């Protein structure tokens, strides 16, 4: 079933395809699976999804939904789910968001395609962080826009600043896409900086887009939303991470009031609708019963971060700041290797610990970095640390 044995395309190929990169980690993952098939124990710290199963109340709601007919829903989503998300913004964040502005999508992926689709013309530039979620630049490129990746380091909290946005702005800049908390670095955009960036963008008649898919997963403060101070921001969210619904493919997009009909047109044509059973399952996401489970898991993620972060530092990885959220540690391994790609392969072969090389997240110094995901139980993390210690000694 591997594509590796197949020939390369000999016929017509769109030019965008030469700019769109694969997930480099997939080859490492194939090797990890091969090792497992051969009986080796592999610890998966390369994954970008929670190890927890979907909370039982959501599964129960989904199971009940399967007993009904499952036709297409409205392109913007099941009204009850849009209302439930609106109520969640009110209850959790004290923010009023008209349900009419909430669009249910096939994961955050669907939300990104819709938001960029209504905004970006060929040649339009979108400012992004490097490192960042790898698909963001590919979405921009797929729509014939130009992703402009701005290098970020620990000094800038691995996020853009208002000054960086202002400096990078060109006549062709259309939008800025931030993630808070971010993948792979786990950092959040401080509220004051977010407002400052928003001001810079607005002053230039651009559009601010904020990816909040790790919103509930912050460990040193309460979750925030960019919707708290402006309604002209496109906000991308998802049931995948905080609600542990990755495989269900369900997310949402909050759009500025004037864009609802445009997004609806595009959603009708490109998606018809998001998964019907997933939408009915997610109706149980914002109940006290489910939130008790997800908050308990949030505490578990915090405990994992608080274990793994000092442990990795002790092994020689440099992680200059404490990531506030998501479930990743973006570790500088310059003291251990000159080539993080090679390092990740060696670590896998020698220890059975799978981690993601920085290359998947951009081009800025990524040969120095690897990403550890802490989507594994504490004893498993301890075992991984022990194996790494033996390898590095």
Stretch near a second copy under the rule CB under 8 A, chosen from 151-159, 263-271, 285-293, 363-371:
263-271
* Beta carbons within 10 angstroms of residue 363's beta carbon: 12
To a second copy, the closest distance from the beta carbon of 225 in angstroms equals 20
Helices (H), 23-106: 25-37, 56-65, 79-93
Q: Does 248 bind a second copy (CB under 8 A)?
A: yes
Stretch near a second copy under the rule CB under 8 A, chosen from 5-13, 88-96, 295-303, 351-359:
5-13
Nearer to a second copy, 36 or 264 (CB): 264
Count of chain residues binding a second copy (CB under 8 A): 94
Local structure of 189: helix, strand or coil: coil
Nearer to a second copy, 278 or 312 (CB): 278
Q: Does 9 bind a second copy (CB under 8 A)?
A: yes
Q: Does 380 bind a second copy (CB under 8 A)?
A: no
Give the max Cα distance, the chain.
60
Phi, psi of 53 (to 5 degrees): -70, 160
Q: Which of positions 81-110 make contact with a second copy (CB under 8 A)? A: 82-83, 99-101, 106-107, 109
Which helix or strand (DSSP H or E) is residue 384 part of?
helix 378-392
Query: Which of 36, 199, 231, 262 is close enough to bind a second copy by CB under 8 A?
Result: 262
Q: Does 122 bind a second copy (CB under 8 A)?
A: yes
Q: Does 257 bind a second copy (CB under 8 A)?
A: yes
Closest residue by Cα to residue 2 from 40, 42, 37, 51: 37
Angle in degrees, CA 166, 170, 173, rounded to 5:
95
Query: Which of 256, 300, 339, 391 is close enough to bind a second copy by CB under 8 A?
Result: 256
Beta strands in the chain (DSSP E): 43-44, 102-105, 125-130, 146-151, 173-179, 207-211, 233-238, 251-254, 328-332, 353-354, 356-357, 369-373
Round to whole Å and give the CA distance between 347 and 134: 23
Q: Does 16 bind a second copy (CB under 8 A)?
A: yes
Q: Does 345 bind a second copy (CB under 8 A)?
A: no
Nearer to a second copy, 157 or 241 (CB): 241
Sign for the pseudo-dihedral over CA of 249, 128, 321, 237: negative
Q: Does 271 bind a second copy (CB under 8 A)?
A: yes
Q: Does 249 bind a second copy (CB under 8 A)?
A: yes
Query: Which of 261, 299, 342, 378 is close enough to bind a second copy by CB under 8 A?
Result: 261
Stretch near a second copy under the rule CB under 8 A, chosen from 79-87, 214-222, 289-297, 361-369:
79-87
Q: Which of positions 282-341 make contact with a second copy (CB under 8 A)? A: none
Cβ contact 369:330 at 8 Å: yes
Q: Does 385 bind a second copy (CB under 8 A)?
A: no
DSSP string, 65-82: HTTS------TT--HHHH
To a second copy, the closest distance from the beta carbon of 144 in angstroms equals 5
To a second copy, the closest distance from the beta carbon of 270 in angstroms equals 6
Nearer to a second copy, 7 or 192 (CB): 7
- The strand pair at 356-357 and 369-373 is best described as antiparallel
Helix 56-65 vs helix 288-315: crossing angle, to nearest 10: 130
Local structure of 288: helix, strand or coil: helix
The radius of gyration computed from the CA coordinates of the chain, to the nearest angstrom, equals: 21
Q: Does 138 bind a second copy (CB under 8 A)?
A: yes
Q: Does 277 bind a second copy (CB under 8 A)?
A: yes
Q: Which of positions 21-40 make contact with a second copy (CB under 8 A)? A: 21-23, 26
Query: Which of 159, 207, 237, 351 is close enough to bind a second copy by CB under 8 A?
Result: 207
To a second copy, the closest distance from the beta carbon of 72 in angstroms equals 5
């Amino acid at each position: 079933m591997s594509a590796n044995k197949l020939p390369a395309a000999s016929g017509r190929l769109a030019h965008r395809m030469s700019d769109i990169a694969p997930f480099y980690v997939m080859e490492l993952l194939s090797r990890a699976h091969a090792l497992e098939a051969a009986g080796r124990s592999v610890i998966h710290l390369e994954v970008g999804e929670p190890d927890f199963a979907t909370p039982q109340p959501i599964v129960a709601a989904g199971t009940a939904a399967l007993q009904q007919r499952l036709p297409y829903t409205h392109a913007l989503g099941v009204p009850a789910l849009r209302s439930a998300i609106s109520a969640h913004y009110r209850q959790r964040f004290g923010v009023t968001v008209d349900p009419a502005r909430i669009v249910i999508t096939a994961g955050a992926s669907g939300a990104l395609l819709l938001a960029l689709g209504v905004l970006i013309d060929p040649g339009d530039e979108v400012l992004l962080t490097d490192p960042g979620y790898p698909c963001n630049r590919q979405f921009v490129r797929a729509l014939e826009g130009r992703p402009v990746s701005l290098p970020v380091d620990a000094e800038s909290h691995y996020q853009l600043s208002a000054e960086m946005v202002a400096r990078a702005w060109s006549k062709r800049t259309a939008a800025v896409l931030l993630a808070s908390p971010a993948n792979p670095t786990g950092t959040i955009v401080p509220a004051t900086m977010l407002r400052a960036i928003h001001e810079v963008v607005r002053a230039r008649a651009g559009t601010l887009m904020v990816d909040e898919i790790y919103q509930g997963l912050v460990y040193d403060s309460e979750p925030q939303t960019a919707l708290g101070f402006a309604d002209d921001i496109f906000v991308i969210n998802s049931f995948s991470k905080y609600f542990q619904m990755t495989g269900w493919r369900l997310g949402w997009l909050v759009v500025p009031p004037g864009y609802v009909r445009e997004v609806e047109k595009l959603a009708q044509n490109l998606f018809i609708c998001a998964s019907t059973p997933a939408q009915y399952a997610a109706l149980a996401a914002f109940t006290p019963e489910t939130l008790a489970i997800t908050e308990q898991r949030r505490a578990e993620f915090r405990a994992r971060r608080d274990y793994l972060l000092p442990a990795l530092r002790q092994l020689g990885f440099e992680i200059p700041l404490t990531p506030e959220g998501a479930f990743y540690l973006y570790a500088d391994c310059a003291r251990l290797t000159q080539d993080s790609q090679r390092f990740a392969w060696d670590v896998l072969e020698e220890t059975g610990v799978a981690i993601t090389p920085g290359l998947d997240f951009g081009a800025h110094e990524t040969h120095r970095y690897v990403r550890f995901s802490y989507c594994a139980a504490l004893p498993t993390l301890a075992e991984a640390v022990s194996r790494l210690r033996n390898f590095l000694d």
